Structure 1
Amino acid sequence: MDNPAADITLTPAAAKRVAAIAAKQQKPAILRLAVEGGGCSGFQYRFGLADAPEPDDTVTETDGVSLVVDDISLDLVRGSAVDFVESLGGSAFQVTNPNAASGCGCGSSFSI
């Protein structure tokens, strides 16, 4: 891990939402971002609470909340920011990924 903060960031809005969800579920405030094959554009983001970081995870912290990403997923999301957005269409975690060549309307799928 040279500079994990430069690899991926968690916005304060996302950190606040993770903290609220974790408190409600009585879990640690650790958000895991993973990339899986599938979705309408080739890859899709998967979010979930983690109990602890894995040995190969990159960990970044914002306002006491950790974002963990495994090495394989990190290659696809390096330089990204994870945000929490509330709009008329609903509220969701959103990844601003500079590596994505295209995305989809739902915002949860992308291609390289």
Structure 2
Amino acid sequence: MPPSHKRITISIPTKTYTFLEQWADKEGRGESNLAAFLVMEGVREKEGDTSKVTVDLSSISNQIEQLRTDSAWKALSLSQKALVLLHEYLNLLEKQQDEQGDHLAP
């Protein structure tokens, strides 16, 4: 069976690598893992796959980071925290819709 992943080697400017290194550190992942993710995102975008999106959270990142103080929250990456909050909000909306449906039922 052929391998499911292939390896490539790229060269990037030092400034780009430094940015990538800081970004990866902020998300708690390795540089190569982040680079692979970015390549896959670029390919998905070119192919027109809209099931995954890239969102700029910079304007609300501090609010997200400071929302909770427990160690489990601190261990999550910013994107994981955003997903947790999105799931919680969607569950809340669903619950509110269910309650409104109960009030409207005969």
In the superposition, the TM-score normalised over structure 2's length comes to 0.27
In the superposition, the TM-score normalised over structure 1's length comes to 0.26
Task: Determine which structure has more spread, i.e. the larger CA radius of gyration.
Answer: 2
Q: Which protein, 1 or 2, shows the higher relative CO under an 8 Å CA cutoff with sep ≥ 6?
A: 1
The structure with the largest strand share of the pair is: 1
